[in-house]
């Protein structure tokens, strides 16, 4: 880019636009635990989940962008252009690195995103990527002062696909959390030795890349040590609807065998906040989520639920109702389509202006997985950061 004068000129023009935009604004046995009165245990926290007020004393709502990486950030220049659209105090960036030493060295050399590197905690792919997420939340909560703050989980291969003002407006318009819930045929269905066999017990599967409210972030930090526990045989998990009662504490949690047929990060956020769903109803009300009804009928088994903020796809084999149409439009850009027979989702093998425009016009705020240098700065500013999505000329690659 630096050797092309015309692109440099357009980049300068785009930076001016960015400035003006900133100015404008996852069959096991579940054992019930006996109920006890809460003492110094963990409260249910669902009263706070429905709070709509600004509980802090410093400024308005803030978005905490919580990045998880193995060895450092990708797409720094693009993220910097995105954050340049933010108003003062509207965001904070934190990073958990598996290779902390390497990331620490990188950030000492250059830290244009003003990333705060949190202490590294042990993690293992599929078995436990939740502990780093909790570490990020614990650090971020120390700087959170508003009940409207949101905690946004992102990978090093993620990019925003909307300008900052749109992302900020979408995420701060309610005090609730967003979870992208998988079709119920992908949930883990359990048996419960204390209840009739006709009552279902479900371990709800969801996408890792959630957006949590301040109340939910606090509850995750409080409950996760109890859920994770110190043993190797069981997870300790809440049960729903019992978990919504004010006197519900960690002493009431049930036991879930450690070996379940889904990765921990694909059930543990919902499972820690709400627990195993034990219900014979057609649906359960789930307070504190922007999608507050969890459908349990078989006719919903093929469709995802909830609110998905990050586009991620395994092709046509899974995903939310919003995901599949977008994947179909960019299928020629994906590493696997229509089926990704892997534990990893598709990544973009190339990107065009038209592909970016599809993402910009989609319901999603973020998208993954983008390898390094996949999207040029000029493309990103022209399509993603523009105040209004550009109308694609016929000369754009991918336009038919």
The closest of 106, 101, 98 to 136, measured between CA atoms, is 98
Which range, of 188-192, 244-248, 383-387, 394-398, averages the lowest pLDDT? 394-398
d(CA 175, CA 124): 31
d(CA 210, CA 163): 19
Asked whether residue 18 carries a pLDDT value surpassing 60, the answer given is no
pLDDT of residue 73: 93
Average model confidence (pLDDT) across the chain: 82
d(CA 266, CA 289): 17
Q: Give me 108's structure tokens.
A: 């000492």
Whether the full predicted model's pTM is greater than 0.75, yes or no, is yes
378-395 pLDDT, tens digit per residue, is 999 999 999 998 877 555
Which range, of 21-30, 113-122, 142-151, 332-341, averages the lowest pLDDT? 21-30
Task: Characterize 188-198 residue by residue with b for buried, 16 or more Cβ atoms within 10 angstroms of its Cβ, and e for exposed.
Answer: bebebeeeeee
pLDDT band at 193 (very low <50, low <70, confident <90, very high): low
């Amino acid at each position: 880019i630096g050797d092309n004068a015309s692109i440099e000129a357009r980049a300068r023009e785009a930076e001016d636009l960015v400035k003006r935009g900133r100015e404008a604004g996852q069959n096991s046995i579940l054992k019930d635990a006996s109920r006890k009165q809460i003492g110094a245990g963990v409260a249910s926290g669902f009263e706070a989940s429905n709070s709509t007020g600004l509980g802090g004393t410093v400024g308005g709502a803030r978005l905490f962008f919580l990045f998880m990486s193995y060895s450092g950030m990708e797409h720094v220049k693009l993220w910097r252009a995105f954050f340049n659209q933010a108003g003062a105090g509207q965001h904070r960036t934190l990073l958990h690195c598996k290779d902390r030493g390497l990331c620490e060295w990188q950030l000492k050399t250059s830290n244009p995103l003003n990333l705060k590197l949190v202490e590294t905690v042990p993690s293992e792919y599929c078995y436990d990527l939740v502990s780093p997420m909790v570490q990020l939340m614990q650090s971020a909560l120390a700087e959170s002062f508003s009940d409207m703050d949101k905690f946004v989980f992102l990978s090093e291969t993620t990019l925003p696909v909307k300008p900052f003002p749109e992302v900020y407006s979408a995420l701060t318009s309610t005090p609730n959390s967003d979870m992208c819930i998988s079709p119920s045929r992908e949930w883990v269905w359990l048996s419960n030795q204390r209840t009739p066999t006709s009552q279902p017990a479900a371990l709800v599967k969801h996408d890792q890349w959630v957006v949590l409210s301040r109340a939910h972030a606090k509850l995750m930090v409080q409950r996760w040590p109890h859920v994770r526990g110190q043993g190797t045989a069981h997870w300790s998990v809440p049960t729903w609807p019992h978990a919504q009662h004010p006197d519900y504490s960690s002493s009431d949690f049930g036991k879930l065998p450690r070996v379940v047929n889904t990765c921990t990060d694909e059930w543990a956020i919902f499972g820690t906040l709400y627990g195993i769903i034990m219900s014979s109803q057609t649906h359960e009300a789930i307070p504190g989520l922007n999608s507050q009804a969890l459908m349990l009928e078989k006719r919903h088994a093929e469709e995802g639920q909830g609110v998905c903020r990050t586009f991620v796809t395994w092709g046509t084999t899974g995903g939310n109702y919003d995901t599949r149409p977008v994947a179909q439009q960019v299928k020629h850009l994906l590493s696997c389509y229509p089926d990704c027979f892997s534990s990893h989702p598709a990544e973009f093998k190339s990107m065009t202006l038209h592909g970016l425009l599809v993402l910009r016009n989609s319901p999603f705020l973020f998208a993954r997985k983008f390898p390094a240098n996949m999207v040029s700065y000029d493309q990103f500013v022209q399509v993603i950061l523009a105040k209004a999505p550009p109308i694609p000329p016929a000369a754009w690659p991918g336009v038919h």
